[in-house]
Amino acid sequence: MTHLALDSARNEYYTSACGARPNAAKLAVVVTDGMSTFPESTEAAAPALHATGVKVVSIGIGSGVSQDELKIIASSVDLVFSANNFDVLDAIEKEVSATACEAATSLPGYLEGCAGSCSSNLLCMAKNGE
């Protein structure tokens, strides 16, 4: 159930107890059939997750995907993707990856702490020639 996944991300995964750092980009990719069992709950859970600073990319799989629901789940309409089936995911992988990375770089704190060893920050690694 989509709303439970979004709530878990907000309440469990993107918390300091699970290793989330205040100055680190937080990005979630939600792969869904785009038809929540409880759409009202999804409509409430998505903005609650967005409000915590997590950027959300939504990917709808299948022919019955609700674009409106994907837009609710995603942090912005440019973070919404669709594929007719799982086989098509390979075709959109690069676009999704590039968009997700771009979204992460726009988050507050992305460039903070970009000195010395920064093995978890790809931009820092590139700057340092790693």
Strands 55-61 and 80-83: parallel
CATH of the domain at 62: 3.40.50.410
3-state secondary structure of 29: strand
**Residues pairing with 82 in the sheet:** 60
pTM for the whole structure: 0.75
Per-residue 3-state assignment (H helix, E strand, C coil) for 83-123:
ECCHHHHHHHHHHHHHHHHHHHHCCCCCCCCCCCCCCCCHH
Per the structure, the complete domain to which residue 6 belongs is given by 2-127
Q: What are the tens digits of pLDDT across the range 45-91?
A: 999 999 998 999 999 999 889 999 999 999 999 999 998 888 878 87
Q: Does the pLDDT of residue 126 top 80, yes or no?
A: no
3-state secondary structure of 55: strand
The count of structural domains within the chain is: 1
> What pLDDT is recorded for position 30?
94
Highest mean pLDDT: which of 15-24, 38-47, 81-90, 121-130?
Answer: 38-47
Task: Extract the tokens encoding 43.
Answer: 């409509």
Q: What are the tens digits of pLDDT across the range 26-58?
A: 889 999 988 899 999 999 999 999 999 899 999
